[in-house]
Structure formats: structure tokens, C-alpha cells
Amino acid sequence: MTANAIQKTNPDMKDAILQVDHLSMKFGGLIAIGDLSFQAKRGEITALIGPNGAGKTTVFNCITGFYKPSEGMITLNRADGSSYLLERLPNHEIPARAKVARTFQNIRLFSGMTVLENLLVAQHNKLMKASGYTILGLFGFSGYRKASAESVELAKYWLEKADLVDRADDPAGDLPYGAQRRLEIARAMCTGPELLCLDEPAAGLNPKESLALNSLLMDIKKTSGTSILLIEHDMSVVMQISDHVVVLEYGRKISDGSPQSVRTDPRVIAAYLGVDDEEVEAVLTEVGDEDVIEQLDTGPDSAHGPGTSSSYLAGPVSDTIGHSQGERVTVSKGASKAAQYDTRANSAPRKPSERLTAKPAGKSPKPAAAKSPTGKPRGGRK
């Protein structure tokens, strides 16, 4: 590990297990994440939400070392006071030293192994360390036998927590979908993480499975001391279990706060549900081309986004307007709905009652959001 990957804890950050500062991730000309900053507090469940393609998984990939960010800093503050700059840490040290574990959007289990074996394999590193990496260590030292017994105990503990005891000897691949999701989480918990990153654990679950998942996550929060960073589409899950919500749209943060404040944030409603294009067009025409172009070209709210670099973001704001006949200004499909909301709120002040109301359906393009902030899933299992 590079020495500069370890930092002294900044006292301001002591409540934050994770601090993301000005994170950007570029893929060629596409900016999947643009100047993103947020915090996840210790002991809390922080939800990262946003329409498909918003950059949520990319954030996870940067945190867990799958991608090296183009810019920015990701600081992980452990309970013992040590801090790690994750973007500088070698990949394999992120789970081992920084104590970050993750699950994937698409389940990744050893499907031919039993449920119990999956939980034991997760502890392989710990066991190898106890063996001293020697054959003598495996058979001779009591340290290894002790570690081995502890591993079995830990596996049993998480089998019970995840309600999988009855299926312990079944191949993981034979489990129903919801049980596989819980097994993935149990397996991650067997590595003793301080931060658990879950990528859409509720996607495709039926209501009963979703309830079981919520219970497991609440139990982890209450009893293990592990903080959770959760990517989730299902707002019913987000509302029920998260303490804090960060909302992304096209790689930019458009809202950050309590579940209730985010749920009622018009920018979020616009991003998820779309706004009515006819009404957008009417307002834009009222205001006039040049003003509109200028306002859209100034990019997103600087408090929430990258400002000048916004034109390179996925779904560039400045590419979202085009001229057609006469004074008509059209807003192309895929435009940032939060930016549209801002533009309209700024350019056409009205009484609150006359303000934009987001519409759940209709012809507005949606950035393929699988679920609405208030509703149920639109998409299925991936």
C-alpha cells in the first residue's frame, strides 16, 4: 500500500465513514460522474438513488477500486481513527484494510457451492492469514483451528440473520432470488466490513422478499455497527430504511437530504417522473429563445453540479435544445429533467399552486427510471 493512502482523521469527518469529494469519472468523452461530493455517516443507511444511467454503479466502482476515478478524493474513515484514500489504495486492500464490502447489481455467488460454503469462502483471507500461509500452519497451529472454528460460527450467525439456516446445505444457485440476495449480503458481512455497499439489492424482489431484505438491513444497522451505502430504485425501500438520500441525475447530484425532503424535491420528481413537454415548450416559448439558451447553457445549479463542465456530461444540458420553425424551442429526449425544472422555476416565477407538477406518465421521456419516487417498480429484474 502506498503510504499516502493512509491519512490522519480530520475531526470534521469523524461522523462520516465515507467522504466523497469532487469525484469525476470519464469514459472517453462521456462524463459518467461529474464533480460529485457527498458524505455517508457512520451507523447510518445512506441511499444513492437516480434514474438508470445516472452513474450510481460507477460511484460504487470508484469506491471499491474497480475504477480509478478521473478526479476527486474518496476518504474512508475507520472506527479506529485510521483513514484511507480509496482511490489510491490497491484494489485488494480496499476490503482487507479499509473494510469496505460490496454486492453487485447482478448477483455474483458461487452457485455450485452450498450456501454455507459461500459464507466460508468469504473468510478465506482471514483463514490463510491464520495459517501463516504454510501447510504446517494449516495442520499444526492452534491459531488456524481457532480461526477456522470462528469462521464457522460467523457463518452460522449470518445464516440465521439472513434466514437461510434451512437452506445451508443447498447449492446457492437453487435458492429463490430473494434468498440469493440475502446470501450475498450475508457473505459480504462475513468479511467484517465497516462499510457495506449494496447495488440495487431489492431489484426484482417480490413484496415478501423485499420485506425480508429490509429487516436484514435494519438488523445489520442496529446490531453490527456496519454503515450501509445503498443503491436503490424502490422508493418504498428508501423511505422505510434510509437515514439520508443522495440523488444523481446524469452523473450530477441534484438533491441531498432526508428521505422526506428528497421525496418532495421538485428536481427529483422532475428527474424521475419527467415533466410535461408541452408545458416546458410553452414556458420556453413565452420566455424566448435567447434567454432560454443562455440559461440552459449556463448549466446546472453550481451547488449541485459541475457547472462549466456540464456540457460533457452524459445527457449534456447544452445539447438539449434545438430550434425548429419560428420561435419554438424544443427540448430533446434525454434532457436533464432537474435542469428543466430549474430553468422553468427560474425563468417563469409563478404562484406555488401554479408551479410545475410532475406527471407520472405520458409522452415525457424518462431516463429509463425503473421506479418512481412514490410508486412501485416499472422495470423487472435485470
Ligand X SMILES: Nc1ncnc2c1ncn2[C@@H]1O[C@H](COP(=O)(O)OP(=O)(O)O)[C@@H](O)[C@H]1O
Residue type for position 152:
V
CB nearer Mg ion, residue 198 or residue 269: 198
Which residue, among 323, 328, 295, 289, has the nearest Cα to 310 in the 3D structure?
295
End-to-end Cα spacing for the chain:
36
Q: Which residue has the cell 450530477?
A: 252
Contact stretch for ligand X (CB under 6 A) within 27-35, 168-176, 207-215, 239-247: 27-35
Identity of residue 332: S
Least distance between ligand X and beta carbon 74 (Å): 15
Contact partner at residue 65 from ligand X, Mg ion, none, CB < 5 to 8 Å by partner kind: none
Contact segment (CB under 5 A) with Mg ion among 49-57, 74-82, 146-154, 254-262 equals 49-57
**CB-based contact 64:261 (threshold 8 Å):** no
Strands 195-199 and 100-102: parallel
Q: Smallest distance, Å, CB 24 to Mg ion?
A: 18
By C-beta, is 194 or 249 nearer to ligand X? 249
Verify binding: residue 64, ligand X, rule CB under 6 A: no
Task: Kindly state whether residue 58 participates in binding Mg ion, applying the rule CB under 5 A.
Answer: no
Binding mask of the shown chain, residues 262 to 301, with x at each position contacting ligand X by CB under 6 A? ----------------------------------------
All cell numbers assigned to 287: 420566455
Interface with Mg ion by CB under 5 A: which range of 98-106, 144-152, 211-219, 275-283?
98-106
Residue (of 376, 369, 375) closest to 338 by Cα position = 369
d(CA 92, CA 39): 23
Q: Which does 204 bind (CB under 5 to 8 A by kind): ligand X, Mg ion, none?
A: none
C-alpha to C-alpha distance for 372 and 363, rounded to whole angstroms: 16
Distance CA 107, CA 343 (A): 40
Q: Is 201 a binder of ligand X (CB under 6 A)?
A: no
Of residues 27 and 177, the one with the C-beta less far from ligand X? 27
Examine residue 57 and tell whether it contacts Mg ion (CB under 5 A).
yes
The interface region with Mg ion, picked from 104-112, 113-121, 211-219, 373-381 by CB under 5 A, is: 104-112
Q: In what order do the strands lie in the sheet with 30-41?
A: 6-8, 82-85, 71-77, 16-27, 30-41
Residue 56 in the binding site for ligand X (CB under 6 A): yes
Tell me which of 7, 9, 37, 52 binds ligand X, using CB under 6 A. 52
Cα distance between residue 243 and residue 256, in whole Å: 11
The phi, psi pair for 84, rounded to 5°, reads -130, 135
Interface residue list for ligand X (CB under 6 A): 27, 30, 32, 50, 52-58, 314
Interface residue list for Mg ion (CB under 5 A): 56-57, 105
